[in-house]
Each structure stands twice: as structure tokens, then as C-alpha cells.
Amino acid sequence: MSLADTKERILDSAEYLFARKGFHNTSLRAITGRAGVNLAAVNYHFGSKEALLEAVFERRLVPLNNIRRENLEAVRETARKEGRLPGVQESLRAFIEPTLAFRKSGTGAEDFITLVGRAMSDPDDTVRNVFIRHIAPLFYMLFDILCEALPELSPDMLFWRLQFAIGAMGHAICMAGKSYSLPDGVTPVSDVESLTAMLLDFVVAGMERP
């Protein structure tokens, strides 16, 4: 078994189980059992359970955040060149679209994005802290751009509206493909494009509310 295989298998297994059971409720024996590797491999390759969580986030969040950052920079640059304010819709789309589209980017991505969707309110300090370390710069960037896009809103109100939007997105991600609390006759779409469009409509309307 090659080095790359062992690490990847552990990461895949951890991602799968963290998404389904949470960090603390997932044991290293469950992860290594599912990955078909030895328990001590976690310590050898990652150092600790917390470091494994960090690696799980980093593996996918760094590329995702790069896309989102590039998108946001493009929004800003385009607006600057055209001598206008950034648009609310394009700013939020720049952030939300790649996030939701991540669901279909490969095996395991669906699980990972579920972790992301609820990370900010995860009861586990460890999860929340690891996530915030990765997301804070991007969050500030989005906030700044929205401040430009909505100059008539106070920063405080904008902050809260952005939290509402992030909450809506996070919950949508967690609920996508799930089937509890379904009213009769409702078969909610779960294709990424439709969901993204609906979510954007919702949050943009809320952000732009006079």
C-alpha cells in the first residue's frame, strides 16, 4: 500500500464519517476500519485526530476558497473597469455558486460540503475553530464587497444580513437530498443549479430590501 493511498483513504473515510456523525462522535477506529488501515496510521500521518480534521478541511476548502476568491476579485475588477459599484447578485453568486456546485465535483464532495454547511454553528468547538481559520479572510472580503455594493446599508445591518444569507445557504446545503420533514406532495429539487438559483433569488431579495 503506497503512502498516497493510506493518507487518501484515511481522509476519504474521515470526511465520510465526520459528515455523517460529526467530529466527536466519530472514532479513529471507525475511520481506520472503514479505510482499511491500521489505527496508528492516523498518528503517523496526521499526528492527531484534530490535525486529521484540519487536513480534511484543508484538502477541499483551500481549492474551493481559491475559486470563490477569484470570483470575488473578478466581480470587483469588472465593476471597477466599468466604473460602477459591484452588484449584490454577482457578489453573492460569486460566493454561493461554487459552494453549492461543489456538491457534484467528485466522490465525497457531497459529504464535505455538508460539513461546510454547518461548520459555523457546529456544537463542537474544534470543528468551528478549524473552519473559521479557513473562512475568515474570505468572509471579510465578501463583506467588504457587499459594503461597496450596498452603500446605503449600515455595516451592522449588512453584517446581519450576510449572516442570514450564510445561514440560509448552510441549511440548504445540509438539507439537500435529505428527506425528513417533507410535507405531502412535496418533492424538493436537489439539482445544484435549481437550488442555487432559488437560494440566490431569496438571499439577494433579502440583502437588497430597502
Residue ranges that bind DNA, judged by CB under 7 A:
1-3, 5-6, 26-30, 37-45, 48-50
| Residue closer to its own copies, measured from CB, 20 or 104 | 20
Contacts with its own copies in 185-204 (CB under 8 A)? 185-189, 195, 198-199, 201-203
- Please, which residue, 38 or 194, has the CB nearer to DNA? 38
Give CA–CA dist 100/47, Å, rounded. Answer: 31
Tell me if 82 contacts its own copies by CB under 8 A: no
Question: 3 or 186, CB closer to DNA?
Answer: 3
Half-sphere exposure for 87 (CA within 13 Å, toward CB): 12
Q: Is 155 in the site for its own copies (CB under 8 A)?
A: yes
Q: How far is CA 131 from the centre of its chain?
A: 9
Distance from the Cα of residue 69 to its chain's centroid: 13
- If the CB atoms of residues 75 and 173 are measured against its own copies, the closer one turns out to be 173
Cell readout for 141 is: 472580503
Spatial contact of 105 and 192, defined as CB atoms under 8 Å apart: no
Which listed option, its own copies, DNA, none, makes contact with residue 121 (CB within 5 to 8 Å by class)?
Answer: its own copies
CA distances from 170 to 2, 175, 199 (A): 36, 9, 11
Which position among 11, 100, 113, 172 is part of the footprint of its own copies (CB under 8 A)? 172
32 close to 11: Cβ distance less than 8 angstroms: no
* CA distance linking residue 112 with residue 20, whole number of Å: 10
Decide whether 58 or 124 has the Cβ nearer to its own copies: 124
Near its own copies in 92-151, by CB under 8 A:
117-118, 120-125, 128, 132, 135-136, 139-140, 143-144
Q: Which residues contact 76 (CB under 8 A, 6 or more apart)?
A: 86, 145, 148
7 vs 2: CA distance, rounded Å: 9
Closest CB 191 distance from its own copies, rounded Å: 12
Judged by the rule CB under 8 A, the positions of this chain that interact with its own copies are 18-25, 117-118, 120-125, 128, 132, 135-136, 139-140, 143-144, 155-157, 159-161, 163-172, 174-175, 180-183, 185-189, 195, 198-199, 201-203, 205-209
